[in-house]
Structure 1
Amino acid sequence: MGKRRWYVVGLAIFFFLVIGKLLKLTFVALAIFVMLGVFLLYLFKNKS
């Protein structure tokens, strides 16, 4: 479970970096990252 959680976190950071580079808009990338973080927290809360 621990490894899988770190894999998801790494994937989220990777997507954040790719989206940030593509859009070149820090504000939009940050907003997407925050939304992704909230979504991941929601999923982890439902599992436990």
Structure 2
Amino acid sequence: MDINDLRVIVTVVSLVTFVGIWVWAWSRKNKARFDEAARLPFQSD
């Protein structure tokens, strides 16, 4: 195993992590929670 194999592994792991975060952020079950968090700065005490 040389440095290029390590670079490929890190790239693939990074891509899988990115896609996982993207899917989690755009999932329908999180929409209500994210909408509520987006309105927090505009709510008054």
Indicate the structure (1 or 2) with the bigger Cα radius of gyration.
Answer: 2
**2:12 paired with 1:42:** no
Q: What is the Cα deviation at residue 38 of structure 1?
A: 0.2
What is the total number of aligned residue pairs between the two structures?
Answer: 25
Q: What is the Cα deviation at residue 41 of structure 1?
A: 0.1
Tell me the distance in 2 between the aligned counterparts of 1:39 and 1:47: 12
Letter in 2 for 1:31: V
Structure 2 gaps, min length 5? 26-45
Q: TM-score, normalised by structure 2?
A: 0.53
Structure 1 gaps, min length 5? 1-22
CA RMSD, 1 decimal: 0.6
Higher relative CO (CA 8 A, sep ≥ 6), structure 1 or 2? 1
Q: Percent identical across equivalent pairs?
A: 4
Letter in 2 for 1:40: T
Match of 1:28 in 2: 5
Q: What is the Cα deviation at residue 36 of structure 1?
A: 0.3
